[in-house]
Structure 1
Amino acid sequence: MFAIPRNQLQHHYCNKNPIYSGFYLAVSQTHVSTSTTAQRHSNSACSSNSTTALFRFLGKEPRNAIFCRHSMVALYSSRTYRGPISRSLRRRISKRAKAAAKPVLDQTLFQRATSQLPPRFTHEELHNVIALQDDPLVCLELFNWASQQHRFRHNVLTYHITIKKLGAAKMYKEMDDVVNQVLAVPSVASEALYNTMIYYFTEARKLIRAVNIYNQMRSSRKLDCRPSIRTYNILFAALLSRGKNSYVNHVYMETVRCLFKQMVDDGVEPDIFCLNSMIKGYVLSLHVNDALRIFHQMGTVYNCQPNSYSYDYLIHGLCAQGRTRNARELCDRMKRSGFVPSSKSYNSLVNSLALEGEIDEAVKFLWEMAENQRLADFITYRTVLDEISRQKRIGDALRLLEVFQEKNLVDRHMYGKLLYELEDTSRGPNIRS
């Protein structure tokens, strides 16, 4: 192995790459030896691939980490990782490396963009030139360059397009600087501009920042800067997009409830997306009765009729709480309204019926799913077949599985897994064929 002393490695790389001069390399002293003795022992040396990676690291293609057999040399961190490196840890290290790497401005593109502007350009002309740029760094440089031009002040158009470009490129720090300039001049703002700020801050998971901008909108004296239904829908979507963790949704649901109350008090009429967000939030936070209250108020209070998503959220929530009879009634009402339940609703209903021992009804809904071109998942089929087997009718379960295969409801892989489950169950005691 070609060994380089740590101080020389750090000095060489920092001088060659001044961008990373604030960081240094952490080398495991246990597994990476700088002595000449280590060159003669293969068990403590890195592989030839690692040596190649080391030369690449010092050359034109810097790497964020060098992996050896038992250790890793990590950039951007003083931590030393020993032992096998997991995939998730490699992803985190790579993500930090990309975040720390500073992009370089393409001067040619920037000069080409400025040449498209006349000597005394207008806001519309600058907006059009920025909108045509694919490189967000060029957009930011154009914005800063225009700020230094004599008698030019940015307006809503130029602020808006710049924030859009930076937010879409996930350059949130640079976007935050532009947003601070907008907030410093309250007269230069609009509802669409504020909504764009809120949207990209929610994309960056900076929810506190997004809510602060929302509060500034509410306190604005300009009526065209007040929150609209679009503003609330952006916030609802961000607060309720935390996956299926019911505890997390329970915590955020209180904020959503307060936002909904403020929206109604301010005279903003909710739309179907807003009401479905409330239903979804209540279902995910296990407040199904509150979701039903919103559902029953949609037509009478808010003058907005439920759609298929409204029914699907509720059917799934009712089944999750074991309220199968209410879910069936709501499903029948949904079909009378002209909607077809989703695969998730059907799967939830079939599972609930099977777990309650209503096998005939569960199988009936399975055939209905096939007629409506809705796919049942593996858990649904297994639940139905297991319940049939539990009632000591293993022969009926096997025959039903054969019918599923004949009608191409299950593929070969799923059929094999289900057959294995049934054969394993049939080996138990007191099973009737």
Structure 2
Amino acid sequence: MTKLFEPMDLRTQTQFDTSPKITSNAVHHRYLHHAFYHSSLRVASRSLRPRVNRRLKPPSKPVLNEAQFRHAVSQLSPRFTAEELCRVITLQEDPLVCLELFNWASQQHRFRHDVSTYHITIKKLGVAKLYQEMDEVVNKVLDVSHIGSEALFNTVIYFFTEDRKLTKAVNIYKYMRNSRNVECKPTIRTYNLLFSAFLSRGSNSYINHMYMDTTRCLFKQMVNDGIEPDIFSLNFMIKGYVLSLHVNDALRIFHQMGVVYKCLPNWYSFDYLIHGLCAQGRTQNARDFCNEMKKRGFVPSSKSYNSLVNSLALGGEVDEAINLLWEMSKYQRSADLITYQTLLDEICRHRRVGDAKLLLTKLQEKKLVDNHTYGKLLHRLKDHHRN
């Protein structure tokens, strides 16, 4: 178990190679530059100092509505049950009233909380982002070993991941896995929550590479425990491998779908792979997947189409890229500015400035570019003409 969660501490990850293992041909580097460099320099706002001051100012603590709390208590019978308390807490809109009801009930003679009262209280506090208060209730649940359920702990994991507390989420998972209570054992829903959290760490391939090691171990542990992966967990694995630049591993998972695992690829499975293959300069493979995708009745996303158009253009297949651009329009998929710039630049690089101008005119006529985008692209073409 220890090895599974070693990647959680970012400060100890010195064993990974920080340089992405990608091909070094010029076409590929140009593709990465055009397809993935979307960031731009931000000009500091004049209101920066007030915003910083507001952030430094400690937030005012919410105050309990005493009248609302007393009214909620009056709704309970003298010897109320956990079911009654759960019903009253559910009706409350103020999360602090919910917490006060929970704590007040804990002090009442002969009353004992059950799974439902813990669950509704944690859910109310989590939705309100009162994570510190929620954490205290979670600790009370963990102190009572015979109380718990898969649904309750999945809710805890979900809100810990929302609060970016991955270590706490993992600890809950470990608690579930080690529990003697069969109702607390992790299910496919538990694993998918964790997969989703590990794969939402941003677009940095090094960070994704590091978390992918944890995700891979978690997936293996799930399968070893006899839990059959579903389409969501398999797509999470494909996406994770693509984001961490392990496209061959993503392809392995894809080809195991329907053979090793009892579910077929869906739209997302193809989409992640097309983008990942283009990012590695494997344009022909990406095109094959795109064709297979359409044969199965799926339509590639705008992201996949943009990746393919960029990759084809940078590979010198500008006419094929133009055809794909019109296909995008047919399926109501939109190209972005970088795709238009890349395609027009590559047409001009092949000494076909006239064709580039004609294409831009058609894009404007079909209202595929707005006036602002048209102006920027036209200015770019004029630069090519002068050069």
TM-score, structure 2 normalization: 0.87
Q: 1:272 to 1:95 in 2, by over 3 A?
A: farther
1:119 match: 78
SS in 1 for 2:311: helix
1:83-94 matched pairs, under 5 angstroms: 90-91=50-51, 93-94=53-54
Provide Cα deviations, 1:27-64, integer angstroms capped at 9, x if missing partner: xxxxxxxxxxxxxxxxxxxxxxxxxxxxxxxxxxxxxx
Q: 1:384 aligned to 2:308?
A: no
Aligned partner (choices 197, 207, 215) of residue 174 of structure 2: 215
Q: Which of residues 249, 255, 259 in structure 1 aligns to 2:218?
A: 259
Instruction: Give 1:358's aligned residue.
Output: 317
Structure 1 residue 416 and structure 2 residue 375: aligned?
Answer: yes
Once residues 45 and 384 of structure 2 are traced to their aligned partners in structure 1, the CA distance between those partners, rounded to angstroms, is: 40
Q: Closer, same or farther in 2 for the Cα pair 1:165/1:310, shift >3 Å?
A: same
Aligned: 1:178 with 2:137: yes
CA distance in 1, matches of 2:368, 2:165: 44
Map Cα deviations across residues 305-362 of structure 1 (whole Å, 9 max, x no partner).
0000000000000000100010001111111111000000000000000001101100
Q: In structure 1, list runs of 5 or more residues that go unmatched.
A: 1-83, 429-433
- CA displacement at 1:89 relative to structure 2: 6.1
Q: In 1, Cα distance between the equivalents of 2:63 and 2:100?
A: 11
1:262 deviates by: 0.4
Aligned identity (percent) is 68
In 1, Cα distance between the equivalents of 2:248 and 2:293?
A: 18
Q: Which consecutive unaligned segments of at least 5 residues does structure 2 have?
A: 1-43
Cα distance change, pair 270–123 in 1 and its aligned pair in 2 (3 A): same
Q: 1:285 to 1:268 in 2, by over 3 A?
A: same
Q: 2:200 aligns with which of 235, 241, 244?
A: 241
Aligned mate of 1:97, from 51, 57, 71:
57
Provide the C-alpha distance between the structure 2 equivalents of 1:92 and 1:109, rounded to a whole number of angstroms.
35
Structure 2 residue aligned with 1:4: none
Offset of 1:91 from its aligned partner?
4.1
Q: Which residue of 2 aligns with 1:155?
A: 114
Select which of 247, 252, 267 maps to 1:308: 267
After the TM superposition, which segments of 4 or more aligned residues of structure 1 sit over 3 Å from their partners?
A: 84-93, 95-98
Superposed displacement of residue 95, structure 1: 3.8
Between the aligned partners of 1:96 and 1:268, the Cα distance in structure 2 is 46
The 2-side partners of 1:95 and 1:228 are apart by 39
Which has the greater radius of gyration?
1
Deviation at 1:101, TM superposition (A): 2.1
Q: Give the Cα–Cα distance (whole angstroms) in 2 for the partners of residues 225 and 348 of structure 1.
A: 43
In structure 2, give the amino acid aligned to 1:209.
K
Task: Give the alignment partner of residue 164 of structure 2, picking from 178, 181, 205.
Answer: 205
Q: How far, CA to CA, are the matches of 1:188 and 1:285 in structure 2?
A: 39
Aligned-partner Cα distance in 1 for 2:115–2:213: 34
Paired with 2:47 and 2:273, the residues of 1 have a C-alpha distance of 38
Shift of 1:168: 0.9
Change over 3 Å in CA distance of 1:144–1:220 after alignment to 2: same
AA aligned opposite 1:426: H
CA distance in 1, matches of 2:45, 2:309: 43
| 248 and 278 in structure 1: CA distance in 2 versus 1, 3 angstrom threshold | same
Alpha-carbon distance, 1:116 to partner: 1.0
Q: CA RMSD in A?
A: 1.4
State how 1:15-414 maps to structure 2 within 5 Å.
90-91=50-51, 93-97=53-57, 100-414=59-373
What residue identity is the alignment partner of 1:97?
K
Query: Deviations along 1:357-416, whole A, 9 cap, x unmatched?
Result: 101100010010011111011111111111111111111111111011111111111111
Residue 43 of structure 1 corresponds to none
Letter in 2 for 1:393: R
**Equivalent residue letter for 1:133:** Q
- In 2, Cα distance between the equivalents of 1:92 and 1:169? 24
TM-score normalised over the length of structure 1: 0.78
Inter-partner Cα distance in structure 2 for 1:265 and 1:89? 53
In structure 2, relative to structure 1, the CA distance for the partners of 1:86 and 1:140 (3 Å cut) is farther
Q: Deviations over 1:122-161 (max 9, x none)?
A: 1111101111111111010000111111100111010000
- 1:425/1:408 CA distance change after superposition, 3 Å: same
* CA distance in 2 between partners of 1:90 and 1:273 (Å): 43
How many residues of Structure 1 are paired with residues of Structure 2 in the alignment? Answer: 344
Which residue of the partner structure matches residue 40 of structure 2? none
Aligned partners of 1:327 and 1:240: how far apart in 2?
A: 22
**Higher RCO (CA < 8 A, seq sep 6+):** 2
Equivalents in 2 of 1:191, 1:171: separation in Å? 22
Give the residue type in structure 2 aligned to 1:205.
R
